[in-house]
Structure 1
Amino acid sequence: MLLLKELPTSKSLKKFVSRYPDADIEAISDFVNLLRASSDISDALDKLLARHGLLQGRWWVLVLLMREDDLISSPTELAEKAGVTKATMTGFIDGLEREGLVVRLLDAADRRKISIKLTPAGQQKLDEVMPDYHRKVKALMSILTKDQRTAMVSSAKTLAANVGVMK
């Protein structure tokens, strides 16, 4: 992910407006500030997980498996829930399997059908990471009041529902 370190100044935004008259400086400024905050938060999560020997993609697979009552899911379902391609999910699963955090289970009736199961080592890894994750998320979010958080989440959901206009 590209992390935009320097946000555009009002001078640089005005330059764009002179060239692209229908540009909305306020909308662009708000948008890049939102992208910047999202990038910073994602980068901070990457660093937190790296201290535990994980990457975000692999961590999300472990979390998704832990959500299941039987700790089992199919690669296709995991890919859909994580919003990644099947090929990307296969890479995540391969790495987690090498580390002993998940296992592939073959269906006895149909050997083409594979399920992924969280192992005790995978659960142990989550038990190591999650308390640190919960503390850090609580500390990050504590800067906002409950009303600010509610408004932020509502606004983020509204934007996400309208993201199709960018496609």
Structure 2
Amino acid sequence: MLQVKDLPDKAILEKFASRYPNADVDAVMQFLHLLGVASELSIGLDEFLSRYQLLQGRWWVLILLMREDNFVSSPSKLAEKAGVSRATMTGLLDGLSREKLIERIVDEKDKRQTQIKLTSKGQKQLDDVMPDYYQRLGKLMSVIDKNEGETLMRVLGKLKQNLTIFD
């Protein structure tokens, strides 16, 4: 993912706005700042997870499986819940299977049907990661109080509802 570390200041954006009159300089600054923070959070999460020999995609698959009552789901449901293509999910599952963090269970009656199950080794991997993850997340979010957190959730919800502008 490309990450712009040198965000433009207001003067630069006003220069752009003189060329593109529809540009709302304040909105652009807010968006770029949000995008920058989101990128840094994603990179930081990847760096953290790499200490546990995981990447975000594989970690999310383990979490999605752990959320299931019996730790089992289909590859297509996992792909849908993760927001990735089935091909991408297959790649994630292949890697997790090689490391024995998940197992594929083939349906005896219909060999085309496969379920994915979180293994005890996969659960142990999560049990190793999650306490440290929650501690770091708590420390990160400790800079905002409860009211700010609620405001943040409302603002992010509004932005999420308005994402159709990119369609």
Is the counterpart of residue 90 in structure 1 residue 117 in structure 2? no
Is the counterpart of residue 148 in structure 1 residue 155 in structure 2? no
Q: 1:102, 1:111 → 2: CA distance?
A: 18
Q: Tell me the C-alpha RMSD between the 2 structures.
A: 0.7
What are the Cα deviations for residues 42-62 of structure 1, in whole angstroms up to 9, with x where unaligned? Answer: 111111100111000000000
TM-score norm. by structure 1 comes to 0.98
| 1:132 Cα deviation after fit | 0.6
Q: Give the gaps of 5 or more residues in structure 1.
A: none
SS in 1 for 2:65: helix
AA aligned to 1:95 is G
Instruction: Single out whichever of 52-61 and 148-157 deviates more from structure 2.
Output: 148-157
Indicate the residue corresponding to 1:104 in structure 2: 104
| 1:87 Cα deviation after fit | 0.7
Q: Give the gaps of 5 or more residues in structure 2.
A: none
Is the counterpart of residue 52 in structure 1 residue 60 in structure 2? no
| 1:3 Cα deviation after fit | 1.3
* Mapping 1:8-19, distance limit 5 Å: 8-19=8-19
Which runs of 4 or more aligned residues in structure 1 lie more than 6 Å from their structure 2 counterparts after TM superposition? none
Indicate the residue corresponding to 1:25 in structure 2: 25
Q: 1:156, 1:109 → 2: CA distance?
A: 46
| 1:10 Cα deviation after fit | 1.2
Q: % of aligned pairs identical? A: 50
Is the counterpart of residue 65 in structure 1 residue 65 in structure 2? yes
